[in-house]
Amino acid sequence: MINSIAWKNIWRNKLRSLVVIAAVTFGILAAVFSAALMNGMVERRLRSAIELETSHIQIHNPKYLENKDLYYFINNADSLVAEIKKMPEIKSASKRLKIMAMANTSSSGTGVMVNGIVPEKEKLVTGIYNKILDSSGTYFDGVKNNPVVIGQKLAEKLKIKVKSKVILTIQATDGTMVSGAFKVAGIFETSNSMFDELNIFARFSDLARLTSFDINNAHEIAILLNDTKLSDDFALKISRQFSTLDTMTWKEIQPDLGMTVEFLNIMLYFSLIIILLALGFGIVNTMLMVVLERVKELGILMAIGMNKARIFKMIMLETIYLSLTGGIAGLIFGIVLIQIFQYSGIDVSAYGEGFSDIGYDAIIYPSIGWDFYLGTVLLVILTGIIASIYPARKALKLNPAEAVRTEI
Amino acid sequence: MKVIEINGIEKTYDEKTVPVHAVNGIDLSFEQGEFVAIVGPSGSGKTTLLNIIGGLDKPNSGEIIISGTNIGALSSSKMIDFRLNNIGFVFQAYNLIPVLTAKENIEFIMDLQGRSKVEKDSRSLELLKSVGLNDRANSRPNKLSGGQQQRVAVARALASKPKFILADEPTANLDSKSTETLLEIMEKLNKEENITFIFSTHDARVVKKARRVITVEDGKVVSDEKC
């Protein structure tokens, strides 16, 4: 019956309760939606980084990481890839030949990273082929000899377009500098302009022929797993199995991204807690008013036999119901808003032109897991409990003999 | 059979300048089935006496024994439980829980006692009938007149099956018709069910109905007459 009384009590002063509920609703809505924006942004960046740049895991010759020298390669990369592909956690794996080079056109030149790939196998690991617009050529098709796929930003820098020629000057395995003429088959554009400006994709065989590199070897093996969560465990498994090679997860390859993801949860809850803390003071104030208004009634309840534990419980439940009503309303509005923008996205390019410079998409697709909603509900309940302590203690300190004579 | 025995109780309030002796050495006893009015001018100490009997206030000295229990020795939490199971209270107006219906107000006290739903339901209806409000069971206090609210308060006080009922100025806010009805109900319950009622009152109509009138002045009993 105390539960029912507590619930009915919050509607005794409808306006006051609705003001508090509205404050909590908007607070939770703001917290949930901003958390979903942050999470959506990072999630998309993570997905994009894994799909287009790092994959889940990369394997290298340990010395290659020190100075990316042509000579520090993985022996018999094909057999290694074949062996890795047999593992159940694997979605796909692909070998790469990676060499720093100078890219020159008739009007410009710049340093680039040339990625020698096997296009059909690379398709199963990275999604660059999906990032070529219809008007921007194809993924290695349409050009017979030495096709390359380059980033939009690089194309702008080199002032070239599809079918344009680009000269790559590279160190060959014998130490000499060699040059090869390549033709642009396609131009890709990811959300990471730095990546687009630095990378050229060429066929493994073309690059190996130019540099006299043994086609059985590779500088990098990129692995895509069935689930991102498997990355750490699988990397450990691989590093134990192939102890002479260096195994890195996406977190190690892009530590800034790894750190962002690690801290994201803390940041999401941190902002939620700050909002709830501010709301908590408002709730305490309201509940103090409630207690002061009901001194006589509380005195009568104590007089007729309602003990302190029950008085405390009643005040606490009122506070929790008040907070939770606003909290749930805020969550519902938040979920609706997230659903609305989850697929259409929010275009912030007008306000954040530099987004793509740091690898983030200028269109944000808010998304957040159910665990965050559950965490929000629990934190709202906790706020209600904490906010009720002071008013409830005030109520408990009342002297029933004096309280029943109070006239308010 | 003695229900209440009061021996030499004193209560002094430490006011800022002069201590106030609200109750100044009172000895009294009450038998089962009495219908008692405690009268006296304002500030005479009758409400303090009632509060001490009801365990809402503690005396500075003396003892109150209710059915063999010295309530002065009980801790505050045990005193609340004792009140719940042994003492019924009727205050001045506005003492019902406003968010509950008349029936729920009566059930509430039984809920605190941990009674079953069936028992709460049947007893609350029975009590509402005894105070003539069985047709207002589902009305909230704001839909009841002052007199009807006090009748519900009497029914609530009886719900816990107390040893006696303390009523502090129960008719103070009622018109004469409501007062008459309320007094008739309480008198009937007293006579038919042998329930002990102790009132503190200024109201001559209550005094007229009482079968024992205790007059208090300056914290002392100046007369104790059976009518």
Residue A131 is assigned to a structural domain of this protein: yes
How high is the pLDDT of residue A357?
65
Q: What is the pLDDT of residue A356?
A: 63
Residues 6+ apart with CB under 8 A from A177: A169, A170, A171
Q: Is A111 on the interface with B (CB under 8 A)?
A: no
Q: What would the pLDDT profile of A94-106 be if each residue is shown by its tens digit?
A: 999 999 999 998 8
> Rounded to an integer, what distance in angstroms lies between the CA atom of residue A264 and that of residue A43?
10
In this structure, is residue A144 part of a structural domain? yes
Residue of B nearest to A309 (CA): B77
Contact yes or no for B97 and A5 at CB 8 A: yes
What single letter denotes the amino acid at residue A257?
L
Spatial separation of the C-alpha atoms in residues B67 and B86, rounded to whole Å? 9
Query: Are residue A116 and residue A207 in the same domain, yes or no?
Result: yes
Q: Looking at the structure, do residues A186 and A282 belong to the same domain, yes or no?
A: no
What are the residue ranges in chain B where pLDDT is below 70?
Answer: 15-17, 93-94
Q: Residue A386 burial by CB count (10 A; 0-12/13-18/19+): exposed, middle or buried?
A: middle
Q: Give yes or no for a contact between B164 and B1, defined as CB atoms under 8 angstroms apart.
A: no
Report DSSP letters for A100-141, one per residue.
EEEEE-SS-EEEEEEEEE-HHHHTTT--GGGGEEEEEE-SS-
Pick from A187, A218, A244: which residue ends a domain?
A: A244
- A304 and B77 within 8 Å at the Cβ level: the answer is no
Tell me the residue type at B92.
Answer: Q
Q: What is the pLDDT of residues A187-221, one digit of tens each?
A: 998 878 888 999 999 999 999 999 999 888 999 99
Residue A57 placed within a domain: no
Let me know whether A42 and A66 are in one domain: no
Mutate to test the interface with B, among A304, A311, A314 (most CBs of B within 10 A): A304
Q: Residue written as tokens 């003396």?
A: B62
Report the interhelical angle of A255-293 vs A295-304 (nearest 10°).
80
Whether B81 has its CB under 8 Å from any CB of chain A: the answer is yes
Closest partner residue to B95 (CB to CB) among A11, A300, A306 is A300
Shortest CA distance to A310 belongs to which of B84, B30, B128, B209?
A: B84
Q: Domain for residue A252, yes or no?
A: no
Q: Is A5 on the interface with B (CB under 8 A)?
A: yes
Q: What is the pLDDT of residue A33?
A: 92
Q: What is the crossing angle of helices A308-344 and A2-9, to 10°?
A: 60
The residue of B42, B74, B82, B83 whose CB has the most chain A CBs within 10 angstroms, and thus the best one to mutate to test that interface, is: B83
Task: Tell me how many degrees the CA angle A66-A72-A75 measures, rounded to the nearest 5.
Answer: 140
Q: Are residues A162 and A210 in the same domain?
A: yes
Q: Which residues of A touch B80 (CB under 8 A)?
A: 302, 305-308
What confidence score (pLDDT) does residue A175 get?
A: 86
Shared domain for A224 and A80, answered yes or no, is: yes
Q: CB contact, 8 Å: A308 with chain B?
A: yes
Task: Count up the domains in chain A and report the number.
Answer: 2
Closest-CA distance of chain A to residue B82, Å: 8
Q: Which residues on A lie below 8 Å from B54 (Cβ)?
A: 303
User: Is there a domain that residue A354 lies in?
Assistant: yes
Q: How many residues would you count in chain B? A: 227
Minimal Cα–Cα distance from A231 to chain B, Å? Answer: 57
Q: Print the domain residue range for A193.
A: 62-244
Q: Mark whether A70 and A165 lie in a shared domain.
A: yes
**Nearest chain B residue to A408, by CA:** B94
Strand-pair partners of A103: A110, A168
DSSP letter for each residue of B71-127: GGGS-HHHHHHHHHHHEEEE-SSS-S-TTS-HHHHHHHHHHHTT--HHHHHHHHHHH
Q: Is residue A364 part of a domain?
A: yes
Task: Say yes or no: A397 contacts chain B, CB-CB below 8 A.
Answer: no
pLDDT lower than 70: segments of chain A:
351-359, 407-408
A103, A45: one domain: no
**Statement to judge: residues A347 and A226 lie in one domain:** no
Instruction: Please judge whether B56 and A303 are an interchain contact, meaning their C-beta atoms are less than 8 angstroms apart.
Output: yes
Question: Does A307 reach chain B within 8 Å, measured CB to CB?
Answer: yes
Q: What is the pLDDT of residue A359?
A: 66
pTM of the model: 0.76
Residues 6+ apart with CB under 8 A from B217: B40, B41, B44
